[in-house]
Amino acid sequence: MIRVLFTIPNFDSAGSGKALLHVAKRMDTTRFEIHIACFHSRGEFFKEVEKSGIPVHIFNYIPLIKPYLKGIKACYKISRKFKEINPDIIHSFHYAADYTEALAANMAGIKWVYTKKNMNWGGGSKNGWYLRSFLASAIAVQNTDMMTDFFRNSKKTVLIPRGVDVNTFKPIAKNEALAERWHIKPNQRVVMCVANLVPVKGIEILLRAFKIVSNQFSEWKLMIVGDNDNPYGKEMLALATEIGLEENVLFCGKQNNIQDYLSLAEVVVLPTLNKGRREGSPVSLLEAMASGKNVLGSNISGIKDQLRPFPNHLVMAGNVEAWSNALLQCCSHKNEINEKLGKDFRTYVIENYHIDLEVKRCEELYLKLVN
């Protein structure tokens, strides 16, 4: 039996936490014993972690490294805690460039793996990423650009894109109660973006592009589903009013029942900008595809992989004209055409991004490391 300890700072934001739990609870229990470590038990999604029955160890396993002598001593204390849990492998789902966890694992003589989840590398975090990678026994990368941009000559990397539960995310009937809640009339059609509102998501590009669409196709509404309770979110609400879209755009805030919201959409978009952390392997787009929706995404790392067979659905990042043209094309389709395209996307996800494929690739990595 191989004992694997999954680590993540918290389950507050749920995105990375869901990714971790989706893999952890599907592991082959005849070959793997799964544990989880995190800083605290706060966050609504932590209740789901508890329901899984997987043992959870709550302690801060990422000490401050400076001053260095004090930091090294703290890492040693963490290494003793790791030894108490005694995993064969530690798999980190932490998104940052911290290397103290890796150092503690090495002190304990435990193989340490991390998943590279975004396209951050340079700047002040560069040395952190180098040390993190040097100390790792293996690195799970989420898109092909990571392989070439960050790990060109590395023998530690394995490509493990995100997977989606296609039994949860599937075509379902329109949730009429939800449509009524948001005052969506039967004749109205919906473009949706599922993303927490942070600057890299390019929501201002989407709003300006959709303004052009709404001038020609008044029956379409834009729904933005994701946390907007932050300065950037408030800016986007103000921008929608400024450009006269307040009647055509719904800011829905953070929601847990994404499947129900997707049931309202005909087209789902992800207009991430080609700068900053960008995307690793965005699960929101995969969930929309699995749900049978026609999708558009920026032509950037991560999204490029997911839409590789559908180049006409890749849009120049940060370009209002390109996004308005792509949206106009989708919005000019009859509903039946968007549905047919959505079926093609679902078939592709089932064959290439099924959650079971992600689990299988992780299991193969762990077996290789131990053997």
CATH 3.40.50.970 applies to domain 2-163+354-370: no
The whole-number average pLDDT for the span 67-96 is 97
User: Phi and psi for 56 in degrees, rounded to 5?
Assistant: -120, 130
The architecture that CATH gives domain 176-352 is 3-Layer(aba) Sandwich (3.40)
Distance separating alpha carbons of residues 322 and 329, to the nearest angstrom: 11
Query: DSSP letters along 258-302, please?
Result: HHHHHTT-SEEEE---SSTT--SS-HHHHHHHHTT-EEEEESSTT
> Length of the chain in residues, anyone?
371
Q: Mean pLDDT, to the nearest integer, of 57-81?
A: 97
Going by C-alpha positions, the residue among 208, 161, 149 that lies closest to residue 308 is 161
Residue 14 has pLDDT above 70, yes or no: no
Tens of pLDDT, residues 143-172:
999 999 999 999 999 999 999 999 999 999
Rounded mean pLDDT, 30-48: 94
DSSP string, 345-368: HHHHHHHHSBHHHHHHHHHHHHHH
Mean pLDDT for the chain?
Answer: 96
Q: State the pLDDT at residue 244.
A: 97
- C-alpha span between 281 and 93 (Å, rounded): 14
- Banded model confidence at residue 44, pLDDT cuts 50, 70, 90: confident
Q: Quote the pTM value.
A: 0.93
Sorting pLDDT into bands at 50, 70 and 90, what band is 177?
very high
Q: Any idea what DSSP says for residue 69?
A: H
- pLDDT number for residue 313: 98
- Does residue 24 surpass a pLDDT of 70? yes
pLDDT of residue 276: 78
Q: In the chain, what is the straight-line distance between the N-terminal and C-terminal CA atoms, in Å?
A: 12
**Mean per-residue pLDDT for 75-98?**
96
Domain limits, CATH 3.40.50.2000, in the chain: 2-163+354-370, 176-352
Confidence of residue 197 (pLDDT cuts 50, 70, 90): very high
Tell me what pLDDT residue 13 has. 66
pLDDT, position 371: 87
Residue 95's pLDDT is 87
Give the per-residue pLDDT at 123. Answer: 79
> Distance (Å, rounded) from C-alpha 148 to C-alpha 145?
5
